[in-house]
Amino acid sequence: MYFGELKDCDIANGEGVRVTLFVSGCTNRCPHCFQPQTWAFDYGQPFTEETEEQILRMLAPSYISGLTLLGGEPFEPSNQRALLPLLRRVKAELPEKTVWAYTGRTYEELLTDGHSHRCEVTDELLGLVDVLVDGRFVQELKDISLRFRGSSNQRLLDLNETRRTGNMVQLPDRAR
């Protein structure tokens, strides 16, 4: 896997102060994507063991709320396989940190057998994500008042509550 950018102290892509990893590779190719350079699977630099160690060090301070994955598309099968060991370590070594992930697919699509973005690690990867921002960006539905997303079709899914209750649980639509 390659990644285009790694940010620390990001406040735009999830609650609190976060470490953000922009993975490379995306077959969604949403019109008006804000990161079209990340569509290429070889954009940026290789994700290595050193990168993983750097992310864990960046997550360590108490003022960091967690890790956000976006891109590109974290739920491209090759990216899922590369991200799974990182998320396992984050949850084992820093269990107080939250994991947010952005995807151009819907949660339902990621759960559907036979879907092109689903692979042998999808369920485990989703099980390590606390909040999933799902759905393609749609320019005609752009709404700058929405929290942590660009268009009104996208959802902020609280996956912990969704798993606990068995019902889809969304975080509030707008900042209070």
CATH number at residue 143: 3.20.20.70
On whether residue 140 sits in a domain, the answer given is yes
On whether residue 26 sits in a domain, the answer given is yes
On whether residue 91 sits in a domain, the answer given is yes
Q: What rounded mean pLDDT belongs to the chain?
A: 94
Average pLDDT over residues 14-40: 92
In this prediction, residue 117 has a pLDDT band, given cuts at 50, 70 and 90, of: confident
- Judge whether residue 58 has pLDDT over 80: yes
CA 39, 43, 49, 51 dihedral sign is: negative
| Helix %, strand %, coil % of the chain (to 5) | 30, 25, 45
On whether residue 171 sits in a domain, the answer given is no
- Judge whether residue 174 has pLDDT over 80: no
pLDDT in tens, 64-108: 999 999 999 999 999 999 999 999 999 999 999 999 999 999 999
Instruction: Provide the domain limits for residue 71.
Output: 2-165
What's the structural domain count of the chain?
Answer: 1
On whether residue 173 sits in a domain, the answer given is no
Average pLDDT over residues 135-161: 92
On whether residue 175 sits in a domain, the answer given is no
On whether residue 174 sits in a domain, the answer given is no
On whether residue 170 sits in a domain, the answer given is no
Q: By percentage, how much of the chain surpasses pLDDT 90?
A: 84
pLDDT in tens, 46-55: 999 999 999 9
pTM of the model: 0.94
Specify the DSSP element, H or E, that contains 123: helix 122-127
